[in-house]
């Protein structure tokens, strides 16, 4: 084996490789950037129509990745090699893989994977779709099709490749850490960079002065604006980059709250948008000079089916095969595409009058495959009867066709004498009988297949070439065989053919197949399992076997299994291990790293994790040790990172993190997260007035309130926000807090997502209530109510969680009091109309929830109008009222009640009611029934209780209306009767506004 390249030689190789590919070689940017993308050579040059190819190194500064040099591959500065290909050359993945070979990576002996990764950089208003490229489990490159930058859609799309140079060097040199990378023949990366890692980590995490950095940020921003106002694009961009770096340092210092983050991102994005627009305008004014200087791109995308393609006549039904060859599809998109094809293909064939046998749909990340068995040779013939003008206008009295008839016949392509008269449902008409002979299947499919492909839709889709079609990922080849003949069609700048691609690492990359059957056999030979069901069970079997080898088992996880199934074509599982010492980490952390980051299957035994994992590679056993080593390196690095965080974090008890919350802005007007914490504590006390708790529950809730946000300041949570609460609980126990306190810290975030559970303990519930009430009241007071579909602070989720929890606990809770209490603790005033708006906002979530559960609009309206401020009771009431409106006698109950309401509705004032003023017995009778009803015991908000009390009054009411003239001339009588009816109407108060109900 030749000696692996050293670090500087890797760079030289990549420079030479990409220069040979026509890239201009560029230099790193002269200001701290988080990624090569921010270099104007990418960020600006991807804008506009001009072609551009560039390659450069970029030392990328990411303060929060600083690990004091202790992590194998996570550093505050790493080196990227950045490549931009604009427009898409048509085969960027292949070129990229060649570059890896140039570096000495043998694709047959490694597992190289393209794993979905949708990139976005909010501060630059940029996003794209693509992948992380994994080399033996290690992310070594980011591969992105840029869709937008500075908020502008990109046309043409640029391909961005970002190599992580240290990770490549680690893999090539088979060393364990960046410190051991041979940089030059004599010195290592550690020699030249370790000190920097240690010092900058300390600076970013410990000593950077927050106040000064904030001032710098403001100054940079002001200079960016100033530059933009002067039309200076590049100086403005420089200052945005400085803003961005400063923001990152502030963030690493833990000084940026969620809401402040949004605000700062918004400001940077807005500036970036202006920069992008100004740049494009500039180039336009120069008349896009580079459009001329490079030779016209040859891939004119307006392909069409060549006339010369001869469609051979088939003589008997034959199998049809369609393969849409793609770059690696995201797992979910693959599922979705297969579902769509299963539905669309039979429908398409039927619509085309093509007889067929079974339709089978298969797929891997790189191909969508449809096989149709026994597809007929031709369409069925068609006879259509087409209605023309009315007979009397079509034919003269002499039976001669009129001008109208002639026109009609001509438009349908029949001779006028072939028109017939027919009696149709609306009268007699001239009709034409149009016959259409079935056309050959190939011809029909040639026309129809582009539409089939175009009709596939994805949650996120992308453009990549000048055909400007959208797909989940680029389509790179089209195979369409009918029997042994190609079905010619064109789509996305491609021409269908009879060739396909095997596994990427196999040679030849592309080969022809003579028939559908030959196709299936060829792929099978390479180990590609086209059928996802088969792949899934194969993987399940392999991982079971491997787990057993480690004396363990794999917990059932259909989601993960499904995802992995969609990540490989030829699954080959391998067992990796890690140091058992990592098992000391919280299980959630380990599992989260293995599953979410690496798509590994954790191995466990009796519910306890074992120091193993199972990865599934693409391909076969070639170079298996290399692949295992790579994967083990990755997991070691990740666990080391997590362990590092936890080790740092538990150096101090959880409550020691509280002061740091003061650095974390919740929202500018609402203060820090520590301020918020203090309000939550006060609010928990207030809520105790509405929620019965035992003494120990109350004290647990109070303590949990104090600590509930503390873990936000810990490094583990800063790193993996999804572990908030989880780590809080873990750290709380580690800090000798009681179990209920720790649990409440965890639970106050529940439910965390749709379908998640509610808290099981009262302290958890109450702290969560207080937190959400404060969030909602506070943000509304700060003028930050969600508008349109903008909800940057996730207030909808907060409100929904609030409602769900109250309902889950059936907790009789008046939101109005809760919001009032919350508002009273805010540092800014809450105008009453605002408070109403918050309530309205929460009630809206409640309304949607109830409707989603199937309740009738009118029922929900009726209840919420009366008691929307109390979600739990409202939910009960809706359920009850739903029962009542389903009763067969409802058409008597409701009208009886509504009569009382309608006649009194126009009066705003309440009329006095006095027994002295009754003139008729029916009045007395009704009054008696009313007092009985009013005296009945009723649970708050209960529809059942209200209507059970009302039911017995019905005869009296009906009698009353029969006997008594309500609107008597005598004002005293009239007012007294109205008063009586108002009292009846009032029975529904706080329960439901019955007038909202249908049939009222």
CA distance 66 to 78: 10
Cβ of residue 25: shortest distance to a second copy, in angstroms? 4
Q: Is 755 in the site for a second copy (CB under 8 A)?
A: no
Nearer to a second copy, 19 or 382 (CB): 19
Residue among 75, 72, 49 nearest 62 (CA): 75
Q: Closer CB to a second copy, residue 32 or residue 73?
A: 32
The residue among 370, 327, 292, 346 whose CA lies nearest residue 113 is 327
Q: Is 282 in the site for a second copy (CB under 8 A)?
A: yes
Residue 15 in contact with a second copy, rule: CB under 8 A = yes
Nearer to a second copy, 186 or 787 (CB): 186
Examine residue 663 and tell whether it contacts a second copy (CB under 8 A): no
Per CB under 8 A, the segment of 227-235, 540-548, 710-718, 932-940 that binds a second copy is 227-235
Closer of 86 and 366 to a second copy (Cβ): 86
- Does residue 653 belong to the site contacting a second copy (CB under 8 A)? no
In the complex, the smallest distance separating the C-beta of residue 715 from a second copy, rounded to whole angstroms, is: 19
Q: Is 102 in the site for a second copy (CB under 8 A)?
A: no
Size of residue set near a second copy by CB under 8 A: 61
Q: Is there binding between residue 501 and a second copy (CB under 8 A)?
A: no
Minimum CB distance to a second copy, residue 184 (Å)? 4
With respect to a second copy, which residue has the nearer C-beta, 31 or 299?
31
Q: Which is nearer to a second copy, 177 or 371 (CB)?
A: 177
Cβ closest to a second copy, residue 177 vs residue 804: 177
Q: Strands 24-25, 52-61: parallel, antiparallel or unpaired by DSSP?
A: parallel
Shortest gap between Cβ of 298 and a second copy (angstroms)?
A: 16
Chain positions 116 to 145 lying near a second copy, rule: CB under 8 A, are none
- Residue from 16, 436, 581, 721 touching a second copy (CB under 8 A): that is 16
223 is an interface residue for a second copy by CB under 8 A: yes
What is the Cα–Cα distance from 126 to 152, expressed in whole angstroms? Answer: 8
| Alpha helix stretches (DSSP H) within 6-125 | 7-20, 40-43, 92-102
Question: Is residue 688 a contact residue for a second copy (CB under 8 A)?
Answer: no
Number of Cβ within 10 Å of residue 866's Cβ equals 23
Contact call for residue 722 and a second copy (CB under 8 A): no
The residues in 32-91 that bind a second copy, with binding defined as CB under 8 A, are 32-33, 40-41, 57, 59, 61, 77, 79
CB of 71 to a second copy, least distance (A): 18
* Smallest separation, CB 99 to a second copy (Å): 16
By CB under 8 A, name the one of 1, 2, 287, 293 that touches a second copy.
293
Interface with a second copy includes 234 (CB under 8 A)?
Answer: yes
Contact between 21 and a second copy per CB under 8 A: no
485, 314 Cβ separation under 8 angstroms: yes
Q: Cβ contacts of residue 517 below 8 Å, gap of 6+? A: 319
CA torsion sign for 136, 141, 145, 149 is positive
Mark the segment that binds a second copy (CB under 8 A) among 31-39, 166-174, 421-429, 678-686: 31-39
Q: Is 917 in the site for a second copy (CB under 8 A)?
A: no
Distance CA 739, CA 454 (A): 56
Minimum CB distance to a second copy, residue 277 (Å)? 15
Query: Shortest approach of a second copy to residue 18 CB, angstroms?
Result: 10
In the complex with a second copy, the residue whose CB is nearer, 79 or 918, is 79
Stretch that binds a second copy, among 27-35, 516-524, 612-620, 833-841 (CB under 8 A): 27-35
| Nearest C-alpha neighbor of 947 from the set 859, 815, 869 | 859
Judged by CB under 8 A, which of 5, 14, 29, 665 binds a second copy?
Answer: 29
350 within 8 A of 359, measured Cβ to Cβ: no
Which residue, 202 or 524, has its beta carbon nearer to a second copy? 202
Compute how many other C-beta atoms are within 10 angstroms of the C-beta atom of residue 403: 10
Nearer to a second copy (CB atom), residue 59 or residue 90? 59
What tokens does 440 get? Answer: 């050959």
R_g (Cα) of the chain, nearest Å: 36
CB 638 within 8 A of CB 597: yes
What would the two tokens of residue 101 be? 């070979």
Residue 233 binds a second copy, judged by CB under 8 A = yes
Measured distance CA(72)–CA(53) in Å, rounded:
32
Task: Check binding of 284 to a second copy (CB under 8 A).
Answer: no
CB 874 within 8 Å of CB 848 = no
Q: Does 222 bind a second copy (CB under 8 A)?
A: yes
Q: Closer to a second copy at the Cβ: 209 or 853?
A: 209
- Show the 3-state SS of 854-920: CCCHHHHHHHHHHHCCCHHHHHHHHHHHHHHHCCCCHHHHHHHHHHHHHHHCCCCCCCCCCHHHCCC
DSSP conformation letters of 708-733 = TTGGGGSHHHHH-GGGTTHHHHHHHH
Strand order, beta sheet including 126-135: 24-25, 52-61, 77-86, 152-164, 138-149, 126-135, 112-121
Query: Do the Cβ atoms of 512 and 519 come closer than 8 Å?
Result: no
Is 25 a binding residue for a second copy by CB under 8 A? The answer is yes
Q: Cα dist. 9→3, 54, 167, 182, 183 in Å?
A: 12, 19, 15, 10, 8
**Nearest-approach distance from CB 182 to a second copy, in angstroms:** 11
Interface mask (CB under 8 A) for a second copy, residues 174-203, using x and -?
A: ---------xxxxx---xx--xx--xx-xx
Q: In the complex, what is the shortest distance from the CB of residue 162 to a second copy, in angstroms, rounded to a whole number?
A: 16
Tell me which residues in 595-624 interact with a second copy (CB under 8 A): none
CB of 524 to a second copy, least distance (A): 46
Q: Please count the residues of the chain.
A: 1000
| 505 is an interface residue for a second copy by CB under 8 A | no
- Nearer Cβ to a second copy, position 191 or 297? 191
CA distances from 717 to 61, 210, 569, 649, 722 (A): 21, 20, 36, 10, 7
List Cα–Cα distances, 883 to 253, 404, 873, 897, in angstroms: 57, 62, 15, 17
Interaction between residue 285 and a second copy (CB under 8 A): no
Query: Any contact of residue 212 with a second copy (CB under 8 A)?
Result: yes
940 forms part of the interface with a second copy (CB under 8 A): no
Output the smallest distance, CB 51 to a second copy, in A: 9
In the chain, DSSP finds a helix count (H) and a strand count (E) of: 35, 24
CB of 289 to a second copy, least distance (A): 7
The percent of the chain in helix, strand and coil, each rounded to the nearest 5, is 50, 20, 30
Member of 216, 624, 893, 954 binding a second copy (CB under 8 A): 216
Name the residue among 820, 815, 829 with its Cα closest to residue 782: 829
Closer by beta carbon to a second copy, 212 or else 972: 212
Burial code (b: 16+ CB inside 10 Å, e: under 16) for 127-149 equals bbbbbbbbbbbbbbbbbbbbbbb
382 in contact with a second copy (CB under 8 A): no
Quick one: which of 2, 287, 289, 558 contacts a second copy (CB under 8 A)?
Answer: 289
CA distance readout (Å), 804 to 662, 800, 809 = 30, 6, 9
Which is closer to a second copy, CB of 40 or CB of 450? 40
Cα(131)–Cα(474) distance, integer angstroms = 12
Binding stretches for a second copy (CB under 8 A)? 8-9, 11-12, 15-16, 19, 22-33, 40-41, 57, 59, 61, 77, 79, 183-187, 191-192, 195-196, 199-200, 202-203, 206-209, 212, 215-216, 219, 222-223, 226-227, 230, 232-235, 282, 289-290, 293-294
């Amino acid at each position: 084996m030749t000696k692996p390249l050293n670090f500087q030689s890797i760079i030289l190789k990549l420079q030479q490789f990409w220069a040979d590919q026509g890239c201009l070689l560029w230099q790193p940017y002269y200001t701290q950037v988080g990624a090569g993308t921010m270099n104007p050579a990418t960020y600006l040059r991807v804008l506009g129509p001009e072609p551009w190819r560039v390659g450069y190194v970029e030392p990328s500064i990411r303060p929060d990745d600083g690990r004091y040099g202790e992590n194998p591959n996570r550093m505050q500065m790493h080196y990227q090699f950045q490549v931009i290909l604009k427009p898409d050359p048509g085969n960027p993945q292949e070129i990229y893989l060649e570059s890896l070979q140039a570096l000495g990576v043998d694709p047959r002996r490694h597992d190289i994977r393209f794993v979905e990764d949708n990139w976005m950089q909010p501060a630059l208003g940029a996003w794209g779709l693509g992948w992380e490229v994994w080399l033996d489990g290690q992310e070594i490159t980011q591969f992105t099709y840029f869709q937008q930058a500075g908020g502008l859609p990109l046309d043409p799309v640029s391909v961005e490749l970002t190599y992580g140079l240290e990770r490549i060097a680690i893999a090539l040199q088979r060393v364990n850490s960046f410190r051991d990378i041979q940089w030059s023949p004599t010195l290592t990366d550690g020699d030249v960079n370790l000190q920097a890692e240690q010092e900058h980590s300390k600076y970013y995490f410990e000593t950077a002065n927050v106040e000064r950095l904030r001032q710098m940020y403001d100054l940079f921003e002001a200079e960016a604006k100033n530059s933009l106002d002067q039309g200076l694009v590049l100086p403005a961009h420089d200052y945005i980059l400085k803003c961005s770096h400063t923001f990152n340092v502030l963030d690493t210092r833990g000084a940026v709250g969620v809401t402040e983050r949004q605000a700062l991102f918004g400001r940077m994005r807005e500036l970036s948008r202006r920069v992008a627009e100004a740049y494009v305008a500039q180039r336009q004014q120069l008349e896009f000079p580079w459009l001329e200087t490079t030779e016209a791109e040859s891939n004119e995308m307006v392909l069409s089916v060549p006339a010369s393609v001869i469609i051979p006549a088939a003589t008997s039904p034959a199998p049809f095969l369609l393969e849409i060859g793609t770059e690696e599809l995201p797992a979910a998109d693959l599922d979705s595409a297969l579902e769509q094809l299963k539905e669309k293909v039979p429908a398409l064939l039927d619509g085309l009058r093509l007889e067929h046998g079974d339709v089978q749909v298969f797929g891997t990340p790189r191909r969508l495959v449809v096989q149709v068995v026994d597809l007929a040779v031709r369409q069925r013939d068609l006879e259509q009867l087409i209605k023309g003008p009315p007979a009397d206008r079509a034919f003269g009295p002499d039976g001669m066709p009129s001008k109208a008839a002639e026109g009609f016949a001509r438009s349908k392509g029949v001779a006028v004498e072939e028109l017939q008269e027919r009696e149709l449902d609306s009268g007699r008409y001239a009709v034409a009988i149009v016959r259409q002979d079935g056309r050959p299947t190939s011809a029909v499919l040639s026309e129809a297949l582009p539409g089939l492909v175009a009709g596939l839709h994805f949650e996120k889709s992308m453009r990549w070439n000048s055909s400007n079609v959208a797909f989940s990922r680029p389509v790179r080849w089209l195979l369409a065989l009918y029997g042994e003949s190609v079905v010619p069609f064109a789509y996305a700048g491609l021409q269908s053919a009879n060739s396909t691609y095997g596994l990427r690492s196999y040679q030849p990359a592309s080969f022809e197949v003579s028939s559908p059957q030959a196709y299936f056999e060829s792929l099978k030979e390479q180990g590609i399992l086209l059928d996802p069901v088969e792949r899934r069970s194969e993987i399940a079997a392999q991982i079971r076997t491997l787990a057993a080898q480690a004396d363990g088992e794999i917990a059932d996880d259909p989601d993960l299994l499904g995802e992995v199934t969609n990540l490989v074509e030829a699954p080959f599982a391998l067992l990796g291990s890690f140091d058992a010492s990592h098992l000391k980490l919280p299980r959630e952390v380990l599992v989260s790293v293995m599953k979410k980051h690496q798509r590994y299957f954790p191995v466990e035994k009796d519910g306890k994790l074992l120091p193993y994992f199972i990865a599934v590679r693409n391909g076969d056993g070639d170079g298996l040790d290399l692949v295992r080593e790579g994967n083990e390196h990755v997991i070691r690095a990740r666990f080391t990172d997590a362990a590092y965080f936890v080790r740092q974090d538990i150096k101090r008890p959880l409550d020691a993190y509280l002061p740091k919350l003061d650095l974390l802005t919740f929202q500018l007007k609402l203060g820090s997260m520590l301020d918020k914490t203090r309000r939550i504590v006060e609010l928990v006390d207030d809520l105790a007035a509405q929620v019965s708790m035992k003494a120990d529950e109350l004290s647990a809730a109070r303590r949990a309130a104090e600590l509930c946000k503390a873990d936000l300041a810990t490094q583990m949570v800063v790193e993996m926000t999804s572990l908030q609460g989880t780590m809080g609980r873990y750290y709380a126990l580690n800090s000798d807090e009681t179990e209920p306190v720790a649990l409440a810290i965890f639970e106050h975030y529940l439910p965390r997502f749709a379908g998640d559970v509610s808290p099981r303990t009262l302290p958890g519930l109450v702290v969560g209530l207080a937190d959400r009430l404060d969030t909602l009241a506070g943000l509304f007071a700060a003028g930050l109510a969600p508008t349109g579909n903008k909800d940057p602070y996730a207030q909808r989720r907060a409100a929904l969680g609030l409602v769900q929890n109250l309902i889950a606990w059936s907790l009789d809770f008046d939101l109005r009091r809760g919001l009032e209490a919350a508002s009273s603790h805010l540092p800014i005033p809450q105008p009453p109309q605002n408070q109403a708006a918050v309530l309205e906002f929460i009630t809206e979530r409640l309304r949607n929830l109830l409707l989603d559960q199937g309740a009738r609009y009118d029922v929900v309206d009726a209840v919420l109008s009366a008691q929307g401020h109390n979600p739990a009771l409202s939910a009960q009431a809706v359920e009850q009222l739903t029962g009542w409106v389903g009763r067969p006698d409802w058409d008597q109950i409701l009208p009886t009640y509504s009569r009382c309401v309608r006649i009194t509705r126009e009066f705003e004032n309440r009329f006095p009611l006095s027994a002295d003023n009754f003139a008729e017995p029916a009045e007395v009778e009704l009054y008696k029934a009313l007092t009985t009803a009013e005296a009945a015991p009723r649970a708050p908000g209960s529809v059942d209780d209200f209507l059970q009390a009302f039911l017995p009054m019905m005869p009296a009411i009906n009698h009353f209306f029969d006997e008594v003239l309500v609107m008597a001339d005598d004002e005293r009588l009239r007012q007294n009767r109205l008063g009586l009816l108002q009292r009846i109407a009032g029975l529904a108060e706080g329960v439901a506004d019955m007038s909202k109900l249908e049939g009222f």
